Every structure is written in C-alpha cells, then in structure tokens.
Structure 1
C-alpha cells in the first residue's frame, strides 16, 4: 500500500497511520548498546550540542534515534522490536536535523567549537530519503512503548506492510535521565514495504 499523503517530518497522529516522510539531513553519532546508559546520554548531548552550534545557538534541537540489531540477530517486526533480541545488542544512530546546505567543513568547524564530542565519536552528516513509513505518536514513559508498538505493528500487518529499515524514534521533548516521562511525546516510526 502506498501512502496517499505526505507528512511534515516532526508530525504524527495519535492513531497509527501510513504516510510518506520528506527527505531530511542530520548530524549524527553512532553507538551500540542499551538506551539509557551513560554513553547513550553522552552521545545524545553531543549531537544536540553540535546541532546547536551549526544553528548558531538556536533552539534546542529535536533528538532522534534510529535503532537496529546487528547482522545475525533474530529478525523482528514492528510490534516485537524490543522483545525478541537482547536490548544491549542494539546498534543506534543519534540524530539532530541540520540544513541541507551543511557541508563537512561546516561540521568540522562546529565540532571544534562544541566541547562535548569525544575524540572517538565519529560525528558525521547523514541523510534519509523520502520514504513510506507507519508511525504513531506515543505519549508518556518509554517503558509504555511496547503497547504503542503493538498497536502500530497490528496496523501495519493489517495493511500487509513489514518493517523495512531501522526503527526510528523522534523525541519531541528534550529529556535527561532525570526527566519525568509522563508528559513526553515520542514519534514511533518504521519504514515499511
């Protein structure tokens, strides 16, 4: 099923939907392991800081994360993404939007001005093309995403669609380890075919 509408990048309905998302450009840092570790939060803060420098001190960027499992892992669909393989085996890419005109020289200068990226972090530009996705807005704690992903997976199955790429989470509200999660909004998005 091909979606009949395009959606703005940072928008999703409260009910599952299939849409076409626009092409987007990011600054990114890759990582491995479970979300919520010190390393995860450090990389998240680093990406946000580099994006702020590129935006010349603009507003706090929306931090996005793509997740996938390494080759050889048990295949998973949308509904069971977090429940089949060991979470510490996750691979991830932390992302923040940048203008399409951002060059590698711009990125190098921003990284030099930003204090947080570790020497070992590979900070790079990354792009996603337009793509067909299923998505839904999740409200509240990350631990409750299992229920929301179950609804999204059931919706996709009903349309004969399967996950076709990394699971994508768009964290519309900034958060740290200490942030109360009851009011957080997270777009759960999966490319499909």
Structure 2
C-alpha cells in the first residue's frame, strides 16, 4: 500500500540554503493550533507536543488506505497585530514585547484531509491536550525569502538581519507572517546545537 511521505514528496518545501534565496511557495494545507505569547513558554511547548500526538492519531484514520500519509515536521507561523506597527524581518524578535506575539503551530497535511476528519480525531483523543483546538488551515505564502539557520534558536537574532539585508538588496519588503520550519524536533531543555531551522518570510516588491 502506497503511503504519502510528505517530507519526501515535498522536498523542495523542506529545503533551504545557508545563504539567502528567493523562493515561490504555493498553497498548502496544515493541521494547526493557535497560541499567543513568547515562544518557549510552558504552554508553547505543551501545544508543540500535542500537535505531534494529534497528527499520529489523524494519520491513523487513513492507515491502510490509498490516502495513508505521514509527516511529523513541526512548523510555526508568527505575527503581531497590526496595531503594533510594521515589524520587519531583521528585528522581528526585538521590536515589540514578545508577550504580544501570536503564533500558529502547524504540521503540513494532504489537501484531502477535511475539518470533519480533524473533528473525528479530536472526538477520539480525549487524552491529548488541546484536542478540540486543532483546526484545518490553508495558506499561500507566495514569493518569499528564506535561509537555513543552524544551531540554537537564539542565534536567529544574528541570522534574521542577514535575510533582511538580502530582501532590501532585492527591493523586497516583508508582507506576511514570519515562518519557521523545525526540521529537527526538540523538546524544552534539550540541546539546540544540532538544530536545522528554515527561516522564511513572504515578501513583495517595494513600490
């Protein structure tokens, strides 16, 4: 029985160079859960753990069928409310109080997975935290700038300005949510020295 191996079949989506580049990201569908506040809080990691538990249960619904799929790569979209003003790529984490940050933790899923499929999983997953909060989310980033960040997440404070400079040099400006793809899973308190994280931001041409 064929299984849809999402990371393998969408290898371009899950790859980036260590130097900035421009990419085009089409529409994708995700299992998602919303949150707010600084990343790294207890509830942030609880939701991150819960989505991995939930995706296993969701995948089990399709196990043994032509729609069988697998994916366990966690991604996160971050943004601030418009009232906080424009927050650029290079200083995304240093401009506004992170308590005001919003995030959406996601795992990419096939388009055929419906909201009803997710609700069915939630109804059978009383032992999974936040089970009723998981939703289907569809998003198109379009033209984006990206690069691969290696090592601890704190180092993004040095990496994001590189991405910013690249965007500026190409007459591009941030136009959507900051996006991080955590290719290597980690829990709170674990070493981050080995991490590989794609930093991706949608952009538009400066008018």
Q: In structure 2, what is the Cα distance between the partners aligned to 1:93 and 1:122?
A: 11
Structure 1 residue 162 corresponds to structure 2 residue 173? yes
Q: In structure 1, what is the Cα distance between the partners aligned to 2:119 and 2:58?
A: 10
Whose radius of gyration is greater, 1 or 2?
A: 2
Of Structure 1 and Structure 2, the greater helix share is in 2
Q: Higher mean Cα deviation, 179-188 or 41-50? A: 41-50
Deviation at 1:22, TM superposition (A): 3.0
Deviation at 1:46, TM superposition (A): 1.6
Of Structure 1 and Structure 2, the greater strand share is in 2
Q: In structure 1, what is the Cα distance between the partners aligned to 2:29 and 2:119?
A: 16
Question: Unpaired segments of 5 or more residues in structure 1?
Answer: 1-6
List aligned pairs for 1:27-38, cutoff 5 A.
27-38=31-42
Taking only aligned residues, the RMSD between alpha carbons, in angstroms, comes to 1.7
Question: Unpaired segments of 5 or more residues in structure 2?
Answer: 1-10, 64-68
Residue of structure 2 aligned with 1:111, choices 105, 122, 140: 122
TM-score, normalization by structure 1? 0.90
Deviation at 1:60, TM superposition (A): 6.0
Deviating above 4 A after TM superposition, structure 1's stretches of 4 or more consecutive aligned residues are: 57-60
Deviation at 1:59, TM superposition (A): 5.8
Q: In structure 2, what is the Cα distance between the partners aligned to 1:135 and 1:149?
A: 9
Q: Give the length in aligned residue pairs.
A: 186
1:125 aligns with 136
Deviation at 1:122, TM superposition (A): 2.5
Structure 1 residue 188 corresponds to structure 2 residue 199? yes
TM-score, normalization by structure 2? 0.84
